[in-house]
């Protein structure tokens, strides 16, 4: 495994459109791309859990909006081990639903001029993953500078993009 990248994507599915509407973002999903024995692969949290698939298969249901390249910064044994350890973990649907409700609450409070701080997701599962949560854990496993400050549970694909835009060590490659 080498040449790790983080993909920020969108699709036309209901959940994807709902995530983009609630987060006011052009992205609904994030995934991890890399090269494995000369083949382009993608790992991400989707309806089937945290799964690996070919890039071609991934692109059947996802449109890449933005790609972040790390030029070897993530190519470490700990990164690869983390990735292998989390394959086939389930997707955190209950946590997603709860997170959406928390976003709605923040949006309503902000419309009325009331402050509503970001609070931890009460139903987030320790045994299941969100897509952007997986990307944060990958960055942490690689000891990427500043990644330990990211909240895996509360980071959206949009948050991830904004953070990567502000830190050194990664380069944005508009759709590959």
Cα torsion through 3, 8, 10, 15, rounded to 10: 110
pLDDT of 112 reads 61
pLDDT digits (tens, 9 = 90+) for 140-160: 888 888 888 888 877 888 889
SS3 content of the chain, % helix, strand, coil (to 5): 40, 25, 35
Whether pTM > 0.75 for this model: the answer is yes
pLDDT of 163 reads 92
Given a cut of 50, the residues of the chain with pLDDT beneath it are none
2-173 adopts what CATH topology? endopeptidase fold (from Nostoc punctiforme) (3.90.1720)
Contact 141, 78 (CB under 8 A): yes
pLDDT of 92 reads 64
Distances 40 to 29, 84, 91, 119, 176 between C-alpha atoms, Å: 18, 16, 23, 37, 12
pLDDT of 67 reads 92
d(CA 134, CA 45): 7
DSSP 163: H
Helices and strands: H and E segment counts in the chain: 6, 6
């Amino acid at each position: 495994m080498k040449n790790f990248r983080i993909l920020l994507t969108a699709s036309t599915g209901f959940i994807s459109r709902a995530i983009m509407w609630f987060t006011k973002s052009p992205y609904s999903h994030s995934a991890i791309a890399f090269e494995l024995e000369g083949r382009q692969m993608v790992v991400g949290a989707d309806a089937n859990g945290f799964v690996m698939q070919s890039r071609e298969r991934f692109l059947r249901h996802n449109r890449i909006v933005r790609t972040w390249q790390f030029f070897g910064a993530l190519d470490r044994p700990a990164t690869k081990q983390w990735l292998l350890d989390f394959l086939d973990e389930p997707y955190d649907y209950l946590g997603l639903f709860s997170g959406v409700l928390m976003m709605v609450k923040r949006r309503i409070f902000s419309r009325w001029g009331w402050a509503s701080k970001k609070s931890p997701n009460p139903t987030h599962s320790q045994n299941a993953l969100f897509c952007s949560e997986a990307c944060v854990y990958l960055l942490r496993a690689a000891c990427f500078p500043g990644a330990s400050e990211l909240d895996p549970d509360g980071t959206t694909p949009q948050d991830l993009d904004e953070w990567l835009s502000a830190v050194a060590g990664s380069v944005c490659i508009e759709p590959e």
